[in-house]
Each structure stands twice: as C-alpha cells, then as structure tokens.
Structure 1
Amino acid sequence: MLSVFPQLFFLEQIAPFILRLALGAIFVTRGYRKLKGEDKSARTKVIIAIELGAGILLLVGFLTQIGAIVIALDRFGALWKNKFQNCELDFTLLIVAVSLIFLGPGILSVDLRF
C-alpha cells in the first residue's frame, strides 16, 4: 500500500481507540445534559438512556460494535427527523459510529479480552 508514513502502521489500533473515546464522551455528555434538562417526556427518557448507555459502552470499550450500531441508528433518526437539513454534525457522528462498527474497539478495551 502506498503511504506517506508507512512507519506509522504499527499504530493502526490507536485510531479506533481515539474515535471510540471521542464518540463515547460526546454521547455521555449529550445524555447527561438532557438528563439535567427540563424535558422529561417518555421520548426524551428513551433518548437519554440510549445516549448515556451507548456512550458508556464506547468509553469502556465493552460491546463496542453494539454501542456503535445504537448510536448510528440514533443519528440516522436525528437526520431523518430534521429532513437532512443542517446535518453536518449528525452526519459526522453517524460516519464515526459506522467506522467503529467495521474497525472494532481498538486498543485498551474490554472487548479485546474476549
């Protein structure tokens, strides 16, 4: 494979690790913010559970691909709800989640033990 920096290939498991931590932190933060918010409808409670649960799974690296699937579905739902308008952030988060589905957890994860 042609690469500008082939000497960095030994670090290939760090990329999914960084993506996993970033996506997990974003969703734990989003879920926590909604938990502290005013809206306590049933729909919001489900979204809080999804965002906090999947975010925590990603942060610890347990069932990473399941957590990434849940987040990908959540972001696709957000894109659909907003009719794909002003969707740059949601689309980026969706792509990161799909990447983690294919790449796996990376280093330092509970998934690697199994």
Structure 2
Amino acid sequence: MSRSVPEWIGKTDDDAIPPRVRLRVFERFGGICQLSGRKIMAGDEWDLDHIKAIWRGGEHRETNLHPVLRAPHRVKSSEEQSEQAKCDRIRKKHLGIWPQSKARLKGRGFAKTRDT
C-alpha cells in the first residue's frame, strides 16, 4: 500500500516539527508513550522523540519519531547526553585533542607562572 501523504523530513536537525506531523506520529502509535507504555491523555505534556538519536546517525524525519510523555523523555535525554559526552571525551582522547590534566602539566614546568 502506498502512502497518500509524503513523509516529512526536516531540512535541518533543529527544524520545528509541524502540528500535522505531530498528529500523524501520535496516531501511528495509538497515542501510547513509547517509553512508559502509558496512554497519553488530554492535558498530558508530551514530546516527539527521535527513535535513533541524531548524534548516533538518526535522521530528523517522520519515520524516526515517536510520542513520549515529557517526564520520561527528560530522563532519557539526560542519560543520552551523559553517554554522548563520554563518547566525545573518548574520541577526543584517542585523537590526541583531549587536554591533559593541569596537574600533569604542572609537574613538567608547563604551569603558568606569576609575573612579579
């Protein structure tokens, strides 16, 4: 069966998701929060979350979105940010661009000296 409406794809990773797309994604998942499994009720605050995070290579498109309640989404996002920061630190260290600790530099005579 072909799709009657073309899939929405954001031009940039931070493009706002149009209300019509929010509705389509909400209905595709039956209004169920994909993190808690709870039905999203009228008045509940909810977001659209990327199934595969953009920083992991996911795309900002309709098929990569699912509805989630705001509170569980914040917990998930916080955990992902910690994981992303750790991955960035490891990658920088492997590339030799992560700064050495100031304690190590101080012992080698590289610490700033005070002009008198």
One fold, TM greater than 0.5?
no
Q: TM-score, normalised by structure 2?
A: 0.24
Give the structure with the higher percent strand: 2
